[in-house]
Amino acid sequence: MKNICLILFVLCSGFIYSQNCKNIFIGEVIDFHDKKPLINATIKLIGTNKITIADEKGKFTFKDLCDNTYTVEVSHIGCETKQIIITINGDTFSKIDLEHHAEELDEVLVSDNFIKKETKTSQETVLKYETLARYSNLSLGDALKEVPGVSSINTGNTIVKPMINGMHSSRILILNNGVRLQDQEWGIEHAPNIDINSANQISVIKGSGALAYGGDAIGGVVIINPNRIIRKDTLYGRSILGAQTNGKGYNVSSTLNKNYKSGWFAQLQGSYKKNGDFKAPDYNLTNTGLDTKGITARFGKNKFQSGFEIYYSYLNNEIGILRSAHIGNIKNLATSINAPRPIIIDDFSYDINNPKQKVTHHLSKASYYKRFKNFGKVDVQYDYQNNHRFEFDIRRGGRSGIPAIDLKLQTHTLSVNGKKDNNLERKYNFGLLARYQNHFANPDTGVRRLIPDYDKYDFGAYTTTEWEINDNLIADAGLRYDFSRIDALKFYRTSDWEGRGYDALFPDLVIEVLRNQVRTIPDLQFHNFSGALGIKYSFNNNNYILGNYSLSSRAPNASELFSDGVHHSAARIEVGDLRIDSERSNRISGTYGYSNSNLNLQVESYYNKINDFIYIVPSPLGIVPLIRGPFPIWEYIQTDAHFFGVDMSANYQITPYWKANHKSSFIKAYDTKANLPLIDIPAFTTLNGITYSNTNWHNFNATIQSEWTLEQNEFPTEFNYTVPIANEDDIYVDLSPPAGYHLMHFKSEITLPVFKQASLNIQFSVDNVFNTNYRNYLNRLRFFADDIGRNFRLQLQLNY
């Protein structure tokens, strides 16, 4: 027994003696992107007392290590701490790269004041969630009016389209979580299918300052981003409950987020809004209710080197159209336009009857990204959208349940984008896009189809660069090419086909001649080039200027080319033109910004010359009587136009408790061929407010705001016309802008603690405090009724 123990002792002693603990581990800590050394990085050997600091070359050394496996922890300011496994078997060398990148650092910071701008040199304004939350019961178009130079063109109070520097619809590109919205945006009364409650931050870029998203954004780009992904173990959410007196409306919204340190995340959001008939100061606005439901869901994994996301959103809107906008005969229509009150005024109701819209929108996307060492990031995305629009008119013979317009738009998009940012002083972006779109107009409505069936094919390619010339000067530039092809199937009345001269211009499009119609297959192609140049120069920490030039090209949309019939929710006949070609915009803009501890000032100016500008105007033919009633004729034309204006915003901290704010917008726009002012251009508007804030009173604040809109004194009076009435005197229809007006508004909020890590935000506001009668020039229903009167709103938001 003693011999066995002696043998074991000798063997163990020999093993211990043979264990090599004189190894040297030399390492180098470098940046993942540009391979530069990370000076003063801290390196630890977990489970030991060994710790060291990287030198000026990013190198470090550990001595006297045994043959073993070690966990090495590396940290550096501005980096995510990283742990790796190193096996030591003799002297060892290893390079360790850290995710050191200013842009990605923002993603892991948890801050309510987080702002990430999409551009460096464009005129861009960011709306944070604190601002967006005030519009939970309203629309995207209402929220965007917080931005200087952004107004809206409305069809009543619930159909609100954003307008940037006088332009709207197809000239404004809207992205929802990286997906370009495709929702038949061509109609004035087609509001964007976006639930404002799904947005956490919105960027508004005036002009075509973001070529990566499209070269046709002549008016601007609206980028809607959901909540940021936080790489830490956390569960949080918010719920909103709101009510308002005008329309006796109520709304509810709830969002729940789950994030993991590993990068996995999930989010679920839903909302519901209900309004009955709204009310002008002196009467009900019959059949102006709203019923809307929305849901979004997303999940995926977000790590620095790679990740993916699956996203889905659904929105269902049912929207009433003012009953008095649809009248049964020509005389009553003309009388209704000229009357001081609507012809039809009923008691309040939540019922939504004809005329009305019902729209559903599905959006889904799948995306994946990968980062490559010493290069940058590449992402691939596929998205699908399904937009189904019904428009119901007042119909006889038991057909009220059959829509007069039934349009379905399906869109498939595949895109690949790359970012080369291994040199942070000179970045490059590039990308490719392919899109297929199918539009189907149901022929079983019993009404001539406004828009025909068509297939649309898009291809785009772009490249941009950003150059930090020095600490004060940043420059960027970009080029983009877009190809569009529309392959349609459309019937024309023979009289219209010949009367417009199409028989001579497009004889090859005719495939069949019928008794009083021709069957055609328009196959139209458009090649468009866009570009942008921009600079930002900072004089010091307080002053900067921006300069930007952009060339934008936009192909005509289906409505501008093919419209041919009654657009029921717009209550007019619309006529497109096959001869319309792409419009091209040359926009020059400049911005001066100043900020210090008390004052934040920004002045933006722009000049935009648009060749072959496309817009819709009242036809000289006036009003046409149909079986379904009389409708004015509007037709698309093409001309040259120029826009110029100035937007200004200022915030001044008077005392620690009092702050004044100002926002104003001035714009002029002209048809240079006809030497006429353009129709539907915003009048001069100025908003001024004063706010009292006290953080010691549970972050209480209250604001009184003055809104002053002047009369639009430049209007093409040629668009007024006389309505011929059989056997009676003609009736003159005045479409001139209404008088200017002044409104006062009040809003306040306070945030109360509820329990640990939860708070209750209470907001109370009053719109149109003095119940003023007014009509907004950019509200299409101004011809028939006043805008809404006083509205009390209360909102409770629980953050947890």
Residue-level pLDDT at 110: 40
Q: How far apart are CA 337 and CA 356, in angstroms?
A: 20
328: left (phi over 0), alpha (psi -120 to 50) or beta: alpha
Sheet containing strand 23-31, edge to edge, reads 59-65, 23-31, 92-98
Residue-level pLDDT at 293: 96
Q: How far is CA 183 from CA 166, 198, 581, in A?
A: 21, 17, 22
Cβ atoms of residues 433 and 411 within 8 Å: no
* Structure-token pair, residue 369: 């990204």
Give the residues of the chain that fall short of pLDDT 70.
Answer: 1-19, 34, 100-116, 327-331, 567-571, 620-631, 720-731
Locate CATH 2.40.170.20 in the chain.
223-799
Locate CATH 2.170.130.10 in the chain.
123-222
Cβ atoms of residues 800 and 237 within 8 Å: yes
* Structure-token pair, residue 481: 């090419």
Q: How far apart are CA 411 and CA 382, in angstroms?
A: 11
Q: How far apart are CA 203 and CA 217, in angstroms?
A: 14
Q: How far apart are CA 381 and CA 731, in angstroms?
A: 56
Residue-level pLDDT at 723: 60
Write out the DSSP string of 555-577. Answer: ---HHHHH-EEEEGGGTEEEE--
Residue-level pLDDT at 654: 95
Residue-level pLDDT at 419: 92
Judged by DSSP in three states, 254 sits in strand
Residue-level pLDDT at 421: 84
Fold (CATH) for 123-222: Ferric Hydroxamate Uptake Protein; Chain A, domain 1 (2.170.130)
Distance from CA of residue 667 to its chain's centroid?
Answer: 22
Q: What is the pTM of this model?
A: 0.87
Q: Parallel, antiparallel, or unpaired: how do β-strands 583-595 and 376-392 relate?
A: unpaired
Distance from CA of residue 359 to its chain's centroid?
Answer: 19
Residue-level pLDDT at 18: 52
Cβ atoms of residues 644 and 668 within 8 Å: yes
Cβ atoms of residues 215 and 460 within 8 Å: yes
Residue-level pLDDT at 405: 87
Residue-level pLDDT at 708: 96
Q: Over the stretch 389-443, which tens digit does the pLDDT of each residue have?
A: 998 888 777 788 888 889 999 999 999 999 998 777 788 999 999 999 999 999 8
Sheet containing strand 82-88, edge to edge, reads 51-53, 42-45, 68-75, 82-88
Class level of CATH domain 17-98: mainly beta
Locate CATH 2.60.40.10 in the chain.
17-98
CB atoms within 10 A of CB 555: 25
Q: How far apart are CA 194 and CA 138, in angstroms?
A: 11
Residue-level pLDDT at 623: 57
With respect to CATH, is domain 223-799 assigned 3.40.309.10?
A: no
Task: Name 521's Cβ contacts closer than 8 Å, sequence gap at least 6.
Answer: 487, 488, 489, 490, 509, 511
Residue-level pLDDT at 91: 87
